[in-house]
Amino acid sequence: MDMELLLPLLSGQAEGPPVTNVMFLKTHKTASSTVLNILYRFAEKHNLSTALPAGGRVHLGYPWLFLARYVEGAEEGSTGTPRRFNIMCNHLRFNLPEVQKVMPEDTFYFSILRDPGYQLESSFTYYKGYVPAFRHVKTLQAFLESPERFYNDSLVVSNAYARNNMWFDLGFDHNAPPDEGYVRARIADVEQRFQLMLIAEHFDESMVLLRHLLRWSLDDVVAFRLNSRSARTVAHLPPESRELARRWCALDWRLYDHFNRTLWARLHAELGPRRLRSDVARLRARRQELTELCLQDGAPQNQAQITDRLLRPFQSGEADILGYNLRPGLDNATLRMCRRMVMPELQYMAHLYALQFPEKPRKAIPLLEE
């Protein structure tokens, strides 16, 4: 019986037809760019339609609640109803009735969460010059010692990154008091709509379960880490400051704590410890194989070191965002695969947009026009 369970893993194939209608709520600073790359690659590989931002936009109306008209081509349905798409994964603020206008009824919904003690630190680095609550404080630690001095809850949209950002992305009120009844009701709403919530701290285990539920192949969910920062731009907060961050983002903490526990319960119930260990090991081994095949020096580089301008990631705030150089001398098929795996999200979005809407003007990517 154990060998029967392992056969699909050993072959790298999932059983049954793959799920092709997928909506990923791309939360902020949660390893979501890596997940987006997985979905973009799957869409391109299978010639699936993707719900991309309309015109020159790079997101689906964020931070405003999502509307179907933010999607390119959504209003071009043949019967006067909005066009439906297979894959939706760009940043948006979740608004189910509008999402349902552009996604099929059998869509698989999932998202990703991260411990707010770490998620807030990443947001502070990326958005310090943009978010009013962060502009006039030198460090996140100083902010967390007295956040009310810097945070104005009337600036709902512009301060969204500064408190309960994942809760906000789900379409909820990120300034609401964390009353028990309210929190439980909103978590129940999430459970009712989303079939899976990934956990960034357990990314590989999350990918194993996602692959199992979507019936995708192993290579479909293997990815390199994208949009990561150099070590020098990561603040290492002491434990007491991380606890302050969790208290300040109490709604996010309750959300994360709940779905972290349910992830592990599902992993053990649906896969079991032995299959889970085997599948995670295979995922990591395949990533290492592709690292050695694709990447020069086998590690991410800062922007100045990246020779191909198309592979240079967008830089935000005080973060030093890393990218990759590919090994020279790759054959055409391997080069194509490797480039897709390391392509930053803005460039990949523009690439898919050009494929899907060849009659429309190309999306302008500022860092490629310098």
Compute mean pLDDT per 10 residues along the chain, 370 residues long, and list them. Answer: 42 73 97 97 98 95 97 78 92 98 97 96 92 94 95 92 98 97 98 98 98 98 90 82 96 98 96 97 98 93 90 81 94 97 96 96 72
Distance CA 334, CA 121 (A): 37
Evaluate the CA torsion angle 132, 137, 138, 142 in order and state its sign.
negative
pLDDT given for residue 82 in this prediction: 76
Separation of alpha carbons 304 and 59, rounded Å:
26
The 10 Å Cβ neighbour count of residue 280 is 17
Answer whether 47's CB lies under 8 Å from 41's CB: no
pTM of the model: 0.93
**Nearest partner of 87 among 131, 122, 47, judged by Cα:** 47
Yes or no: say if 129 and 135 are a contact pair by the CB < 8 Å rule: yes
What spatial distance separates the first Cα and last Cα of the chain, rounded to whole Å? Answer: 59
Contact 151/338 with Cβ under 8 angstroms? no
Q: Would the CA dihedral through 168, 173, 175, 176 be positive or negative?
A: negative
Instruction: Give the per-residue pLDDT at 80.
Output: 66
**Residue pair 71/90 in contact by the 8 Å Cβ criterion:** no
What per-residue confidence (pLDDT) applies to 77? 63
d(CA 186, CA 193): 11
Contact 341, 41 (CB under 8 A): yes
Closest among 252, 258, 263 to 119, alpha carbons compared: 252
Given CATH 3.30.1340, say whether it is the number of domain 22-356: no
